[in-house]
Each structure stands twice: as structure tokens, then as C-alpha cells.
Amino acid sequence: MFNDKLKEECGVFGVYNLEGKDVSPTIYYGLLALQHRGQESCGIAVSDTFSNSYNINSVKDMGLVNNVFNKENLSSLKGNIGVGHVRYSTTGASVRENAQPLVLNYMKGTLALSHNGNLINLEELSHELKKSGSIFYTNIDSEVIASCIAKERVLSSSIEEAVCKTMKKIEGAYSIVVMSPRKLIGLRDPYGFKPLCIGKKDNSYIFSSESSALDNIGAEFIRDVEPGEVVTISSKGIESNKENMIDKNLQGRCVFEYIYFSRVDSFIDGVSVYDARVKSGEYLAKQSFVDADIVTGVPDSGNAAAIGYAKESGIPYRVVFVKNNYIGRTFIKPDPNERTSAVQMKLNVLKNIVKDKRIVLVDDSIVRGTTSNQIISMLKDAGAREVHMRISSPPFLYPCYFGIDVPSRKELIASSHTKEEIRKIIGADSLDYLNTDNLSHLVNDLGICKGCFTGDYPIKNIKGKQKKLVR
């Protein structure tokens, strides 16, 4: 939402209707529900399993879902199987050519692919494919994955076999939906970095980055795709391949899916995002209580944690910010002065609520510290007597290699400043972060990645592989 926030990942969505009905309207509404995961570009690709043409039709462009799609171009997307994508770029430029889904024509036919994540062996794979004659039209890792699948398909008996072979070659974070002319395949990396779930509505099976998108289209949640699993949907129903799964103790889900990225009404691997955020606030209150008059959250991702802090501390929760949802996201503004203006335009303070009050202000993270400073200044300008900042994640100290666009270490305020120095910079009367040890408790002790806080990543040789791609 703000300049000081992490930049989103991507969202993937796929539908297979067994009766032959067009799926593009369903994908459109699914992408609308996933819009928070990426606002740079979007697209839909469809095919008809009842046709012998094997053609894939697609529409994709820069912009939001409701700007790119209209009745005319949606009506042109005829087909009962399809994939969709909303994108925020972590590799590759933000240009139309890099928009997804990617559509590939090759010796065995066609395929379309939507991908959320980041490969760590991109350079190695790209070099290997180019040596064997592959030509790339984009500069994103998703095309490398698609090319790997196409190459393996030529030597395999089925598309799902080719996908399983590709999984043994690609390393990093990914949730992917692949469409062939007759099948829809969902896969998730063995560490489970990125979420992916399965739903059903009438005679349609659905893949989605988040369960909340299933709710929005009236679909039933079936289950999550397990880390390392390949799920194939065809006219025969659902089939599963688990040959690439690893020990649960080695898994490393991105904890920021629970803290910030995912919608608060989503469930990931059986854990409610809302409950995880409330718990983070409760732990903050236990470890860092401060005597105050009211608790509030920075909208929207700080609200549930603020409710948890208020619940545990006994201090009343109050809404003190009015949010204008029609102002563009501030991180896309290139000029610092524009960012400041956009933050002030997006939030307004209820002065009668904060005047002469001691406030606990809860947010999900501090990246650079600029927006925290602006928000605290707004509260104090409105008459707040004290503002105590509480953060529902540990301090950011290290880069992310798996699809979150964390700035370079020199831009991470916590990597070069003490907590007391940060407190002074943002203008808070006190500051504290959630302890790293409490993170696993938020997700019922599921395996999570804490690399951006501790420097200890689930993939142990990550630093050597990723030297050229450190942001």
C-alpha cells in the first residue's frame, strides 16, 4: 500500500469446466479477487478441450484487471479450460511482453503458463536451454520454466510427466498453473514458499493462489496443493503426483503471506490469515506492553494485529484512519515528493479520536522507515500525545531470493540502524518488533522461511547461487 511496504508477488488462477462451458468470466472474477497480489499487468489464456484445433487464445496487457478486460475481449476468449495471472515483477521489466500467462507453441502442441515466484538457478537453466537452441522472447524466469516443460514434453509420455521432470531441474519458489490443450496442472515448489489451493464449483475445478478468491466466485474449497505436489485435472478428474515432496521439517512457507501479502479472509495450509495476524498482535502485547489509551492499526494489514494487541493488553481498539481506496498505490510513484503526497491523500486521521491520546500504532513491517515517519507525524499533528509503534514481524535484515521485492540491504533501515535509532528516525515514543521465535506460533508451527530476518534460508546454498541477482 505504501512506499515503505514490500512489493507484492503475483496471483495465479486456473479453471477447467468439464461440461464445455466458457471459463473466461470465472477467471476474470478470480483475478479481480487476487488483484492485491499484483497491479502491473494481467492476462487470461483459454482453450477448448472439445475442439481438435489445439489453439490457445489469450488477452493480456499492462494495468488492472477491470481496465484490461471488457465484455468484448472476454467474449472472444472461448474455451472451457484456461489460466489467468496478475503480475508484480520481481524478475524482468514491467512491460507488456513480460505479462502472463505465457503461451508457447512447440513440437508437441501448445501450452500456457502462469507463475508466482522466483527461480534461483535462472541463469544456469537459461544458459543450458539456449545451448540446445531455445529462443527467449521475454526476460522473465516464467519463460524458462515453460521452455523446460516443452523440452521435457518432447521426451515424455504426458504433460504431467514433463512437469514432474522439470520440477527436478528448477530451484526456488513457485506456484504454477499449466494449461495444455486437454489438461490443467497445478504445482507447488517442495518448500511450499508460495500458496496454491484447489476449489470446485458445479462441474468446474479451480486452482487459485488464495482461498478467498474461491469464496468470491462461489466455489467450494477442496484443499491446498501440498508443497512438492503436482495435481492434474483432466476429463478423468483429479490425479496427484508427490514424487518431488520433501520432509515437512525442511519446508519454508513465506511467512509474509500470513503477515501481509494474502487477503485476511484467506486460509493457507489450514491456517487462517486473520487468526495469524491477531496472534501476532497478542504476542506483541505480551512481550512489549505499553500503557496507552487506544490501539490502532495501519490499514489494512495492521488492523488484525492491532485487534490482537488490544485483546491481550486490555487497551481499547479504535479506528483512527479513514482510507481513500481510490488513490493509486504509492510505491509506483517515482518521485519521493509524490509518494509523500499520496500517503497523505490515502489516509486521513480522525482528530477527535486521537487528540490528547497515548496511541499504540501497529503495523506489519518497517522497510525503509519513510512511511512510518509520515504516519506518526500525521497522528501527532492531529493532537496525539504519544505514539508507540509495534511491528508484527521482526526487523528486516537480509534480502529475499524467493519473489518478494525486498530492497537492497543498504535500503533496509534495520540493517544499518539500532532499534533506538529507528525509533528516533520515525518519531515514535517507543518501538518494538515481534520476536523471531514467535513467528512459527502464528502458523501452528508449520515450516516457514525466516531468511529475511535471520539470514538462514530453507535452501542452504542460496547465497552462492544468487550472487548476481541480489537486489
Same domain for 30 and 142, yes or no, is yes
The residue range of the domain holding 30 is 11-251
241 assigned to some structural domain: yes
Residue 323 has pLDDT above 80, yes or no: yes
For residues 100-126, average pLDDT: 90
169-201, pLDDT tens digit by residue?
A: 999 999 999 999 999 999 999 999 999 999 999
Which of 251, 285, 305 is the endpoint of a domain?
251
364 assigned to some structural domain: yes
Which residue carries 510513484 as its cell? Answer: 333
Residue 93 has pLDDT above 60, yes or no: no
Same domain for 279 and 242, yes or no, is no
C-alpha to C-alpha distance for 375 and 297, rounded to whole angstroms: 11
How many structural domains compose the chain?
A: 2
Catalytic residue among 10, 148, 254, 452: 10
Confidence of residue 463 (pLDDT cuts 50, 70, 90): low
With beta carbons less than 8 A apart as the criterion, state whether 318 and 285 touch. no
Residue of 290 and 466 predicted with greater confidence: 290
C-alpha separations of 431 from 92, 258, 266, 297, 435 in Å: 36, 22, 29, 14, 13
Report the DSSP pairing between strands 347-349 and 11-17: unpaired
CA angle 258, 260, 261 (to 5 degrees): 85
394 assigned to some structural domain: yes
How do the residues of the chain divide into helix, strand and coil, expressed in percent and rounded to 5? 35, 25, 40
Tell me the DSSP string of 407-464.
PPGGG-HHHHS-HHHHHHHHT-SEEEE--GGGHHHHTTT--EE-HHHHS--SSTTHHH
Residue 2 has pLDDT above 80, yes or no: no
148 assigned to some structural domain: yes
259 assigned to some structural domain: no
Residues 6+ apart with CB under 8 A from 158: none
CA angle 109, 111, 116 (to 5 degrees): 165
Q: Helices 122-131 & 141-154, crossing angle to 10 degrees? A: 50
Same domain for 289 and 244, yes or no, is no
Residue 52 has pLDDT above 90, yes or no: no
Closest CA to 390 of 274, 299, 288: 288
Same domain for 246 and 286, yes or no, is no
Which residue carries 544499518 as its cell? Answer: 416
Same domain for 172 and 281, yes or no, is no
398 assigned to some structural domain: yes
158-172, pLDDT tens digit by residue?
A: 999 999 999 999 999
Same domain for 211 and 316, yes or no, is no
Residues 6+ apart with CB under 8 A from 107: 150, 154
355-410, pLDDT tens digit by residue?
A: 999 999 999 999 888 889 999 999 999 999 999 999 999 999 988 888 776 656 77
10 is catalytic: yes
Amino acid 468: pLDDT: 38
4 assigned to some structural domain: no
Same domain for 125 and 216, yes or no, is yes
Same domain for 284 and 176, yes or no, is no
With beta carbons less than 8 A apart as the criterion, state whether 162 and 153 touch. yes
Same domain for 244 and 289, yes or no, is no
Same domain for 156 and 295, yes or no, is no
Radius of gyration in angstroms for the set of CA atoms belonging to the chain, rounded to a whole number: 23
244 assigned to some structural domain: yes
Residue 6 has pLDDT above 80, yes or no: no
Which of 251, 285, 310 is the endpoint of a domain?
251
Same domain for 240 and 278, yes or no, is no
| Share of residues in the chain with pLDDT > 70 (%) | 89
Which CATH number characterizes residue 305's domain?
A: 3.40.50.2020
Which CATH number characterizes residue 41's domain?
A: 3.60.20.10
Residue 470 has pLDDT above 50, yes or no: no
Residue 202 has pLDDT above 90, yes or no: yes
The amino acid at residue 144 is: V
Same domain for 278 and 242, yes or no, is no
